[in-house]
Amino acid sequence: MSTAFAIISLLFNGLMAGLFYVFSTTIMPAFAAIEPAQATAAMRSINRTILNPLFLPVFLLAPVASLVAGVLLLVGGASAAGVLFLAAAAVYLLGTLATTAVLNVPMNNALEAGGLDWPAYAPRWTTWNHVRSLSCAAALVLGGVALTLV
């Protein structure tokens, strides 16, 4: 059972790392190359569209899968692997979920409401998106290393 949660953890963390990486390396630079009004409209559309049944479970359950894998591995006697999966859950919770809730979503809401213009939004949002990308990648690596110990 721990193997199933470990694989789900790797899959979900990998998907999220990829999503945030693409935003940082492709989408935001592409938006920087167009007019601010166009970039704002496109980002508003993305922010509305991303809240869907395919994205939300992966985004929210990545740390849960890591946590469950870690606990099951600890209970099963694989303490080093268990601790690494618990660390993966913590890194994701702090670097991805908390960053999203405390920083990126409020900026998205301000952009949507017209309270934040594109030049003020884009650099700050992208910086914190880098944090999310790196956090997901770190969680993925921690889980991958943990699997080599099982």
Per-residue pLDDT of the chain (150 residues; tens, 9 = 90+): 889 999 999 999 999 999 999 999 999 999 999 999 999 999 999 999 999 999 999 999 999 999 999 999 999 999 999 999 999 999 999 999 999 999 999 999 999 999 999 999 999 999 999 999 999 999 999 999 999 998
Within 8 A by CB and 6+ apart from 2, the residues are 69, 72, 73, 76, 78, 150
List Cβ neighbours of 40 (8 Å cut-off, separation of 6 or more). 111, 117, 118, 121
pTM: 0.95
- CA distance linking residue 79 with residue 70, whole number of Å: 8
